[in-house]
Amino acid sequence: MDWRGEGIVLSARAYGETGAVLELFTREQGRHLGLVHGGAGPRMRSVLQPGNKLNAHWRARLSDHLGTYQVELVRPLAGLLMDDPLALLALSAASAVCGVVPEREAHPALYDGYEVLLETLQDGDVWPAIFVRFELGLLQELGFGLDLTRCAATGARDDLIYVSPRSGGAVSRAAGEPFKDRLFRLPGFLVGSQAGEASPADVAEGFRLTGHFLERHLFAAHGRHLPDARLRLMEKIAAWAG
């Protein structure tokens, strides 16, 4: 059994004295693990950094085996972000969040969205809003999409300013006003007719919104919490928003 293709490094952990188990996110094979012989060595450690794009060749005797990778670097990313601690934290958070994608399950649209997110990490004015949209796409792709197009209570499509923390549906101003203290605020940049430049406050609210549903539907279901890097990023974004 074998396949070849490009993938983005999500993580690499030491295995034995010199090896590393590489976790790649690929377009056709999904999130896929394999052993890299010599992956713990100094030369390969720089290659197996989260965010780096690799050419990979995976081989195994049987399809359900861990298998081994042979890889070569296509494009580094982590090194390009060394002078931007917030972007580096975003890269760590994105890599950790993608770890919830079921192993060996292809999600090409999600992979494409992840590539877009990583391509924007060098632009601090752009990536925070893209990050929130990526997480909404992740929820949608894994079967827990939010309906932000109509009011969950009345069906109205106008004046949507809240989100129900239970249903994940948008709620109009009129329907939500009596319960506003129990609802999320719906950031305008996530609503079709209001989509545009995202304010820091809107982005911070977006991170709070997606974080709630990621934990509830994807992480808690496996007895896990949001990754530490994702929690730290949400705190940093909230501080940035003031």
pLDDT band at 222 (very low <50, low <70, confident <90, very high): confident
Structure tokens at 53: 């794009």
Domain ranges of the chain: 2-76, 81-241
pLDDT in tens, 172-184: 999 999 999 999 9
The tokens describing 71, both together, are 């890889």
Pick the CATH number of 81-241 from 1.10.10.10, 3.40.630.30, 1.20.1440.120, 3.30.930.10: 1.20.1440.120
82 vs 8, higher pLDDT: 8
Tens digits of per-residue pLDDT, 39-71? 999 889 999 999 999 999 999 998 889 999 999
Judge whether 2-76 and 81-241 match in fold. no
Assign domain 2-76 to its CATH architecture: Beta Barrel (2.40)
